[in-house]
Amino acid sequence: MKKKRKYNINIEDKTKLFFIILFFISGIVLPSFVLIRKEMKKEVTSKLYSLDLVGQIIKGTHFEEKIYLPKHITKYGISFATYGRKNSGTIKLEIIQGKKKITEVIDVSKLKDNDYYYLDVKKLALINGEALLKIEGIDGIEGNAVSMHKTADIIYGELIQNGEPTNRALAHKVEFNDFNKIVKGQIIFFILSIFTYFYFLFLIQNEKKNNMKIYLTTVLLIFFIINIKAPTLTFNAQPFAEQVFNFMFNGTRASFLKNIFISDAGYWPLYQRLIGLVIIKLGFNAYWTGVLTSNAAVLTVALMVSIFTLNYFEKYGNIIFRFIISMLFGTFNIVTYTETHTFIDFSYMNIILLFLIFLIDLKKLNKKQYASLMILTVLLCISKSYYILLLPLALVVLVLFWRKLIKREKIFLATILISCLLQTMYIYSNMHMWVTPQSKKLEILYIIQIGIHQIVQQLMNMFYPSMASNQNILSFNLLFLFVLVLFVIFSVYIFIKNRDRESLIILILLGLIFGISCFNVISRIWGGEIEKLWTETAGAINTRHGLIIKISMILILILVPYCINKLRKDSSNTKIKMEYCRGIILFL
């Protein structure tokens, strides 16, 4: 028995170590290097307007042009043409800056047709700024010489050919590294991310004692990584037009009370409106208000998704599993960051916090904590129109499980129900602000088919994101439809067997997925031709309108290992399998 126990601990430790290293490399180091490199690498290439040739570069032909060589240059090329033949001879190329001179003699037989010839980068590093480019034909002869491309796009200086201005410039290509403020900021936040991650690893040595510190460290790490991945949302914030007008403009000109009830496209954005008003009332100018609201959105997302690292959720997995799930929601591209972390759209992520609140054992909270959560629940629900779909789900749970629910759970569900009802009434009173559909009424079968088809596409996109047009679309659609149906049956089976909160939440999330997909069809965001729907149509609509569907699918995956574990006896062998199961989920 002792040997077996030791083996179990080793399995768990190895799993933790594997994912600690995996996340460090794939979650922090690699994406940071790629994104910093992408931001740093710049390229300036001549646009090929009115493209022509300078003529054959024969002996005695001279060209001059002022050029600009930036710092940290990595490539500098000039476009040559060989007339599609094998040429012979040499060309002298000089770059002069004051007393500095770079000279290269080019063997024209090695030049490629309609391609760039790149100069020696080590020599180019000696010159920065404006310089004079001189090109001279040494021994070329007519019919056996090369030429160069000239274009109307004059990047810096005009080409002088044999002493005559041409009103053209040579076709250049310059690549260089630009250590601008964004790159410097990304590097700083990359260093902060590494230190924060290792501090997190130090804190988890005593998880219970450092639980709140672990939570706050996770929040900071998410914020730092988003600074690397999407600096336009943080330290280089560029507010969206809707953010400036709907929130900032109204916030500075209308009263606090009037602002609370201002709509956004016909729905009631109470949650984000309150956050925006608090920042606006601080009295900063428009620029800093925009920066603060953008950063507030990123921080709010981090604060919401990091809740999973708290000890309230320890039964759903070890701290590494819960930490990586939090990081996944906070930093990975479920859809583009402009759909998840901007001030106007971050409340789509509210579903994660609502889900986590439902998982908390509400009996363990004191009165202040519980009251705060109920107030927060109201704000989370009154934020986006999609959350009205929680109304029927909350009502069904209250009616069917009234006797089994404790008082605090009833209040929580009633809070969701009332909040969603208020949002529904608000939307109904602002129907004139919605776009009126001009086409005929949609049939129920059409709504269901399009809705289910897009759910299948969202599921397929999670596991098989690249779908080529030449692949057997019907087979893939039917395969993932079968997987979806099988999982729904399995979820019902788990609920019948377990009869617990977690299996009920899986059913609620499935209902939400179906409801949102059909809601998108009814509101004509999604559509398609029924005849070719399953045979020729593939591909998920990766926008904010499908975000809650994908989030719900991930949330279901988080609960599946726990629910399966409850179906079996609580043996050590099962725990090992659950570690592997969680590992597979994280890997996916």
pLDDT at residue 217 greater than cutoff 60: yes
Banded model confidence at residue 470, pLDDT cuts 50, 70, 90: low
Query: How many of the other CB atoms lie within 10 Å of CB of 307?
Result: 21
Nearest-CA neighbor of 64 among 168, 201, 174?
Answer: 168
Highest mean pLDDT among 330-334, 369-373, 456-460, 519-523: 369-373
Q: Environment class of residue 537 by beta-carbon count within 10 Å: exposed (0-12), middle (13-18) or buried (19+)?
A: middle
Alpha helices in 246-389 (DSSP H): 250-253, 256-260, 270-280, 286-305, 319-331, 337-340, 350-359, 367-381
Tokens 């400036």 belong to which residue? 244
Evaluate whether 155 touches 63 at the Cβ level (below 8 Å): no
The two three-digit tokens of residue 169, written as one number:
């410039």
Domain with CATH 2.60.290 in the chain: 45-177
Tokens 């089994």 belong to which residue? 404
DSSP 8-class letter at 375: H
Model pLDDT, residue 11: 56
| Interval 59-86 mean pLDDT | 93
Question: What is the distance between the alpha carbons of residues 345 and 526, in angstroms, rounded to a whole number?
Answer: 19
Banded model confidence at residue 34, pLDDT cuts 50, 70, 90: very high
3-state secondary structure 43-104: EEECCCCCCEECCCCCCCCEEEEEEEECCCEEEEEEEEECCCCCCCCEEEEEEEECCEEEEE
pLDDT at residue 441 greater than cutoff 80: no
pLDDT at residue 275 greater than cutoff 80: yes
pLDDT per residue as tens digits for the range 279-305:
888 888 878 888 899 999 999 999 999
Half-sphere exposure of 525 (CA within 13 A, CB side): 16
pLDDT per residue as tens digits for the range 140-169:
899 899 999 999 999 999 999 999 999 999
Question: What is the distance between the alpha carbons of residues 507 and 393, in angstroms, rounded to a whole number?
Answer: 10
| Interval 306-315 mean pLDDT | 93
Q: 471 CB contacts (<8 Å, ≥6 apart)?
A: 538
| Interval 491-497 mean pLDDT | 91
Model pLDDT, residue 160: 94
Q: Environment class of residue 338 by beta-carbon count within 10 Å: exposed (0-12), middle (13-18) or buried (19+)?
A: middle
> Mean pLDDT over all residues of the chain?
87
- Give this prediction's pTM: 0.86
The two three-digit tokens of residue 356, written as one number:
């986590």
Alpha helices in 176-210 (DSSP H): 181-203
pLDDT at residue 564 greater than cutoff 60: yes
pLDDT at residue 116 greater than cutoff 90: yes
Question: What's the order of all strands across the beta sheet hosting 62-69?
Answer: 100-107, 90-97, 129-137, 62-69, 160-161, 164-165
Model pLDDT, residue 353: 95
Sign of the torsion formed by the C-alpha atoms of 338, 339, 341 and 346: positive
Question: What is the distance between the alpha carbons of residues 177 and 153, in angstroms, rounded to a whole number?
Answer: 23
Model pLDDT, residue 2: 45
Model pLDDT, residue 221: 97
Question: What is the distance between the alpha carbons of residues 161 and 63, in angstroms, rounded to a whole number?
Answer: 5
Tell me the residue type at 200. F
- Of residues 546 and 189, more confidence is placed in 189
Model pLDDT, residue 240: 67
Banded model confidence at residue 414, pLDDT cuts 50, 70, 90: very high
pLDDT per residue as tens digits for the range 343-357:
888 999 999 999 999
Evaluate whether 478 touches 534 at the Cβ level (below 8 Å): yes
- Of residues 247 and 373, more confidence is placed in 373
The two three-digit tokens of residue 85, written as one number:
């033949």
Q: At what angle do helices 473-498 and 444-463 cross, to 10 degrees?
A: 90
- The secondary structure of 384-415 as a DSSP string is -GGGGGHHHHHHHHHHHTTTTS-HHHHHHHHH
The two three-digit tokens of residue 519, written as one number:
């809601």
Sign of the torsion formed by the C-alpha atoms of 536, 542, 546 and 552: positive
pLDDT at residue 242 greater than cutoff 70: no
Question: What is the distance between the alpha carbons of residues 72 and 98, in angstroms, rounded to a whole number?
Answer: 20
Question: What is the distance between the alpha carbons of residues 32 and 37, in angstroms, rounded to a whole number?
Answer: 8
- Of residues 198 and 545, more confidence is placed in 198
| Interval 176-181 mean pLDDT | 92
Model pLDDT, residue 334: 67
The 3-state DSSP class for residue 519 equals helix
pLDDT at residue 326 greater than cutoff 50: yes
Model pLDDT, residue 7: 39
End-to-end CA distance of the chain: 34
Tell me the residue type at 238. Q
pLDDT at residue 579 greater than cutoff 60: no
| Interval 320-339 mean pLDDT | 84
pLDDT at residue 340 greater than cutoff 90: no
pLDDT at residue 396 greater than cutoff 70: yes
Query: How many of the other CB atoms lie within 10 Å of CB of 117?
Result: 20
What residues are paired with 118 via a beta bridge? 77
Model pLDDT, residue 574: 52
- Strand 169-170 versus strand 115-118 pairing type: unpaired
The two three-digit tokens of residue 395, written as one number:
């009502």
Model pLDDT, residue 571: 46
Q: 536 CB contacts (<8 Å, ≥6 apart)?
A: 473
Banded model confidence at residue 105, pLDDT cuts 50, 70, 90: very high
User: 52-66, 171-185, 471-485: which range is least confident on average?
Assistant: 471-485
The residue count of the chain comes to 588
CATH topology of domain 45-177: Hypothetical Protein Tm1070; Chain: A (2.60.290)
pLDDT at residue 267 greater than cutoff 70: yes
Model pLDDT, residue 9: 44
- Of residues 220 and 559, more confidence is placed in 220
Question: What is the distance between the alpha carbons of residues 27 and 328, in angstroms, rounded to a whole number?
Answer: 9
